[in-house]
């Protein structure tokens, strides 16, 4: 089946198979799809591509497309030749109808309007008076640093005296909001309110929010359409483009009541900032009621109390939410450009809830993607490629080896080159990625995206209370870091690493076994070599330059830096591993003879006081590691000690030169000044000439040490790789994948926390004195594949301990973080603008590395966890929780020792941290089923110690959203006096299906995939599954087993 594009008359044509598996020639022209028996025959069938949608299956092998029709006609199945062909046709068919064409036109018009807005900012801001622009665009929050893209315009709605068709009919109404652009006749459905049941005077606590980038002007018209919902469960709010004069079709279960239109200028310029509008039928004749539009400002307290709300609406099941979806992109005019660099596509929702003292508090919930989802993995893969290329070159530079070891080296290098090629291909594919800045859960199994975290988002709740200070609560939501593409048939990293290490110990007949600690030490030594050698060489050149200029002060400073770096260099090799590896390397040479038995020396004999070494004339230069000759194991000690001796000679010579210079200056000061100048010039030449041979000797000795040490440590790494091919490299790949996902979330959390606490001196002191606590809340079960995910996640989060952060001043407009280091140690450089950088303590500005303390507490809560507790094993979860409790206690000990007690956040009720830790310990030891108290206690401890909160489940959708919304409502109840009677309503509001108002009903907002009538709620979760009795599950399992046995007998 080949795609043909030669026809002039038709836009697209190809051979395809229809549902009866017969070959047909398909031709696409406009919104008509022609089906023919062959290319030259006439059309046997014509399909009108209107009122239908396309379903494309996202599996790797499926190349089918299904056309589904709203009229109820049978589905049309098409099959393509290849996956790319299938994808291209899915796009072409999806855009072939009139609605798709209108969407394209609308997108182009919006783009034109945005360009006009950029060119004429004054004209763009005319939709509100200048006195109100600042208050709308830049609301003032008490001690709060706002997130990028606060909503620009918000208003609430309420109806009165709605007319019903029958006298006894109780209305269930909602308002749909549409936008009509100036000088255009295109009506775009924007959002809708919640459904208020059983009243003719509905008070909608769902408002409308327009983000700053939304192209709205004074002349923009907003249309409000009121519907009566007969069957609430069947109603679905959709977004589409309609002609101005055309009403939306009467969907099953709802009926049109009335509509009205107003200009934005009428609302924002009205004295009371309120409009009362008449609702009329579509023909404009009959009046069906009135609707009130009230301008809302987040930063202002609402007048009045809640009594009239609760009295009038006590029988109304209404949600308390205003919502709005921001358009793509972040405004460059925002005052937080560094946050704009990492946050993208924010979605804003605004709630108002009553407090226990009958006042209103406003809550703005914001969710944003982050560009770090792709930036961090790409930076990390680039580092892996460089590190692996260096390792491969070091293996090649080992020199001549015996046949057994040489064949082993060739095999290792071949496998490493294949792995290196895979990293390079992955990086190239990620470089081609365009579109969304996060990976939806439906793509978690794609190989090219396996380094990318799943559904990484910032979830922020900003609370504005009438009598309390404003507060921010941030949670990073992300799918559990795991290698989904590789699968979990054999478990996750925790089990695989343990099994691999046990098997590697039994392969000593093939290679030399080095413990994981020794291989990590070898990598550290190689890293120190690559870092310190160029620094020492640079400082040595600066010393000679100071000598040539005869600058005593510069000479002293250069010598000090040279001495410090050389001392670090010498002590980096003060380890028994280097000596033993050198001996092992010699035995691997062809034809080796040992001069002495291979007896390891004590590490205390390796060193030597650098202040009591011999003159360089007594230093005997050593050749490279001898081949085909006797090996003296004490040779390394002499070579290693020569560096210290050479440095002491340089120090002694500088001291003599400075001493002579002082004496010379004293004498010359008493004589003629011109003679003194000549003497200085002559002495300068002596300084350089006397220091030059000593510095060259130091460099040569250092180069000799580097050559030997590099080869010995590369030999250790060769043993590590050779003992476990190819499992070793596959485990390294899996660990890199999991770590990449975990690191992207950590970098996002750190940057957000840094911006939030930039004016909190206690937090900044804690950051550089103790470090940052990072608490992960896991909701994975210990059953089936999720047990493997939990094992991956536990190792990935534990590996975050080797990450350090450093804050630097940005030198350009690029504020994305910079990653340096190697697999055993990474440094993340976070860039801040100059004004923000000045707010930091001196220690952080001087480049002090900031340490992270990641902890993970997991409690499985789904139905699979019930199976694990009944028939499986929960030991994995118990061990993880116990291990991380000890890490949390360790951080608490450091925290209490180094930080004053007044640095803790001041909550309404200040609980004792020690008591919370003891309570957490008791709950972990209790081993209670689905003990969610562990989650709440760990989250509370984290917040009280200024930590960063993460919530994770398999895909960061259902369980994560249920947990986050429950936590947010609990915080409102415990810390901000949420009225007890409104707790459940607030929880339902945050989990409402209506909050995603501007989504097409066939689009799944979590996965980004085209699906067949999936729920469109981010916060919807089948709670009933969590409440199923365990006895019913047992009965279900028995019946299922009986059916299976009957089937196969």
Active-site positions? 953
Residue in this structure with the two tokens 């290679």, named with its chain if needed? 511
301, two tokens: 């307290």
Instruction: Give the DSSP letter of residue 439.
Output: B
In whole angstroms, give the CA distance from residue 333 to residue 356. Answer: 39
Q: How far apart are CA 498 and CA 491, in angstroms?
A: 11
Task: Specify the 3-state DSSP secondary structure of 250.
Answer: coil
Paired tokens of 785: 């594949």
**Strand extents, DSSP E, 334-395:** 343-354, 360-370
> Do 789 and 482 form a contact (C-beta atoms < 8 A)?
yes
Look up residue 207 and give its two tokens. 């408002």
Backbone angles phi and psi of 741, in degrees to 5: -65, -40
What is the C-alpha to C-alpha distance for residues 111 and 124, in angstroms, rounded to an integer?
Answer: 14
DSSP codes of every residue in 949-1001: EEEEESSSSHHHHHHHHHHHHHHHHHHS-B-GGGHHHHHHHHT-GGGGTTS-T
Contacts of 391 (CB under 8 A, 6+ apart): 416, 714, 717
CA-to-CA separations, 499 to 30, 127, 388, 450, 492, in angstroms, rounded: 60, 66, 24, 24, 11
- β-pair partners for 208: 155, 323
Q: Judge contact between 828 and 742, C-beta under 8 A.
A: no
Pairing of strands 803-809, 12-17: unpaired
Residue among 381, 379, 375, 417 at smallest CA distance from 396: 417
Q: How far apart are CA 993 and CA 1019, in angstroms?
A: 7
Name the burial class of residue 1, with classes exposed (0-12), middle (13-18) and buried (19+) by CB atoms within 10 angstroms of its CB. Answer: middle
By the 8 A CB rule, do 1000 and 836 touch?
A: no
CB 469 within 8 A of CB 143: yes
What is d(CA 780, CA 887) in angstroms, rounded to the nearest whole number?
A: 21
In the block, which residue shows the tokens 């023919």?
36
Nearest alpha-carbon partner for 636 in 600, 676, 665: 600
Report the Cα–Cα distance between both ends of the chain, in Å, rounded. 43
CA distances from 645 to 403, 408, 556, 566, 601 (A): 39, 38, 19, 11, 21
Tracing tokens 């399909």 back to the chain, one arrives at 47
832 and 810 Cβ atoms separated by less than 8 Å: yes
Which of 513, 482, 509 has the alpha carbon at shortest distance from 500? 513
The residue behind tokens 């560009």 is 371
Could you give phi then psi for residue 806, rounded to 5 degrees?
-140, 130
């Amino acid at each position: 089946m080949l795609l043909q594009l030669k026809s002039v008359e038709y836009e697209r044509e190809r051979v395809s198979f229809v549902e009866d598996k017969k070959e047909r020639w398909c031709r696409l022209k406009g919104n008509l799809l022609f089906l023919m028996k062959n290319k030259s025959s006439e059309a046997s069938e014509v399909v009108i591509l209107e009122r239908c949608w396309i379903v494309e299956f996202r599996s790797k092998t499926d190349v089918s497309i299904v056309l589904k029709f709203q009229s109820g006609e049978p589905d049309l199945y098409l099959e393509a030749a290849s996956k790319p062909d299938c994808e291209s046709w899915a796009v072409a068919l999806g855009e072939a109808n009139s609605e798709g064409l209108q969407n394209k036109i609308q997108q182009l018009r919006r783009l034109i309007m945005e360009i006009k807005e950029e060119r004429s900012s004054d004209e763009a801001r005319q939709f509100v008076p200048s006195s109100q622009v600042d208050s709308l665009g830049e609301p003032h929050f008490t001690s709060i640093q706002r997130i990028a893209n606060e909503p620009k315009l918000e208003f609430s709605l309420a109806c009165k005296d709605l007319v019903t068709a029958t006298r006894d009919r109780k209305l269930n109404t909602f308002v749909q909001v549409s936008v009509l652009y100036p000088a255009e006749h295109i009506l775009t459905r924007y959002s809708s309110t919640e459904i208020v049941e059983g009243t003719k005077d509905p008070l909608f606590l769902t408002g409308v929010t327009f983000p700053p980038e939304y192209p709205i002007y004074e002349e923009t018209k907003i249309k409000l359409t009121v519907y009566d919902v007969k069957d609430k469960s069947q109603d679905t709010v959709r977004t589409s483009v309609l002609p101005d004069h055309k009403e939306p079709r009467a969907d099953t279960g709802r009926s049109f009541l009335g509509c009205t239109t107003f200009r934005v200028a009428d609302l924002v310029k009205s004295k009371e900032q309120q409009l009362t509008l008449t609702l009329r039928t579509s023909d404009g004749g009959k009046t069906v009621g009135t609707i009130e539009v009230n301008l809302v400002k987040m930063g202002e307290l609402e007048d009045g109390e809640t009594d009239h709300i609760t009295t009038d609406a006590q029988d109304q099941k209404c949600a308390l939410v205003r919502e709005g979806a921001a358009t793509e992109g972040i405004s460059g005019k925002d005052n937080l450009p560094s946050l704009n660099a990492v946050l993208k596509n924010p979605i804003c929702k605004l709630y108002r809830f009553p407090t226990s003292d009958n006042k209103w508090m406003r809550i703005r919930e914001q969710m944003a993607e982050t560009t770090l989802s792709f930036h961090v993995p790409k930076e990390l893969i680039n580092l892996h490629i460089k590190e692996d290329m260096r390792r491969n070159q070091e293996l090649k530079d080992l020199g001549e080896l015996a046949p057994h070891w040489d064949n082993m080296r060739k095999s290792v290098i071949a496998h490493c080159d294949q792995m290196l090629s895979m990293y390079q291909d992955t990086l190239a594919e990620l470089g081609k990625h365009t579109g969304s800045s996060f990976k939806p859960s439906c793509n978690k199994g794609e190989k090219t995206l396996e380094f990318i975290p799943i559904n990484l988002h910032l979830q922020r709740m900003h609370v504005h209370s009438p009598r309390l200070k404003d507060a921010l609560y941030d949670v990073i939501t992300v799918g559990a870091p795991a290698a989904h593409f590789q699968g979990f048939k054999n478990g996750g990293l925790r089990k695989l690493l343990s099994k691999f290490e046990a098997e590697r110990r039994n392969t000593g007949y093939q290679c030399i076994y080095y413990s994981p600690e020794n291989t990590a030490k070898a990598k550290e030594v190689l890293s120190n070599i690559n870092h310190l050698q160029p620094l020492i060489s640079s400082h040595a050149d600066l010393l000679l330059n100071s000598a040539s200029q005869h600058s005593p002060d510069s000479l002293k400073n250069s010598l000090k830096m040279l001495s410090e770096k050389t001392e670090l260099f010498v002590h980096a090799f003060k380890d028994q591993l280097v000596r033993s590896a050198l001996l092992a390397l010699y035995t691997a040479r062809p034809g080796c003879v040992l001069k002495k038995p291979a007896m390891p020396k004590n590490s205390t004999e390796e060193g030597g006081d650098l202040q009591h070494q011999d003159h360089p004339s007594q230093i005997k230069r050593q050749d490279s590691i001898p081949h085909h000759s006797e090996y003296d194991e004490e040779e390394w000690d002499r070579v290693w000690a020569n560096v210290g001796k050479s440095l002491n000679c340089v120090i002694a010579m500088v001291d003599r030169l400075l001493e002579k210079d002082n004496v010379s200056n004293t004498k010359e000061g008493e004589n003629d000044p011109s003679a003194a100048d000549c003497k200085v010039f002559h002495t300068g030449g002596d300084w350089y000439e006397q220091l030059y041979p000593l510095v060259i000797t130091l460099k040569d000795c250092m180069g000799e040490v580097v050559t030997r040490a590099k080869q010995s440590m590369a030999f250790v790494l060769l043993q590590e790789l050779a003992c476990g091919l190819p499992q070793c490299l596959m485990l390294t790949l899996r660990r890199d994948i999991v770590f990449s996902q975990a690191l992207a979330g950590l970098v996002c959390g750190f940057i957000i926390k840094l911006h939030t606490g930039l004016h909190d001196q206690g937090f900044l002191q804690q950051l550089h004195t103790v470090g940052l606590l990072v608490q992960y809340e896991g909701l994975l079960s210990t059953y089936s594949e999720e047990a493997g995910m939990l094992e991956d996640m536990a190792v990935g989060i534990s590996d975050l301990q080797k990450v350090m952060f450093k804050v630097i001043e940005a030198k350009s407009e690029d504020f994305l973080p910079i990653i340096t280091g190697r697999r055993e140690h990474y440094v993340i450089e976070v860039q801040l603008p100059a004004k923000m950088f000045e707010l930091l303590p001196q220690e952080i500005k001087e480049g002090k590395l900031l340490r992270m303390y990641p902890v993970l507490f997991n409690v499985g809560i789904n139905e699979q966890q019930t199976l694990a507790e009944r028939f499986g094993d929960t030991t994995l979860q118990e061990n993880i929780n116990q291990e991380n409790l000890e890490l949390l206690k360790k951080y608490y000990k450091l925290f209490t020792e180094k930080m004053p007690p007044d640095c803790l956040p001041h909550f309404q009720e200040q609980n004792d941290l020690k008591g919370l830790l003891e309570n957490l310990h008791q709950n972990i030891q209790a081993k209670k089923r689905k003990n969610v108290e562990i989650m709440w206690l760990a989250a509370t401890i984290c917040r009280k110690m200024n930590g960063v909160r993460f919530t994770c489940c398999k895909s960061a959708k259902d369980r994560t959203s249920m947990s986050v919304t429950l936590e947010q409502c609990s915080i409102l109840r415990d810390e901000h006096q949420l009225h007890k009677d409104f707790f459940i309503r607030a929880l339902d509001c945050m989990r409402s299906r209506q909050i995603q108002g501007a989504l097409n009903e066939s689009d799944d907002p979590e996965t980004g995939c085209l699906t067949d009538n999936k729920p469109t709620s981010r916060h919807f979760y089948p709670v009933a599954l969590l409440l199923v009795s365990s006895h019913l599950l047992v009965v279900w399992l028995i019946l299922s087993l009986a059916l299976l046995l009957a089937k196969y007998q």
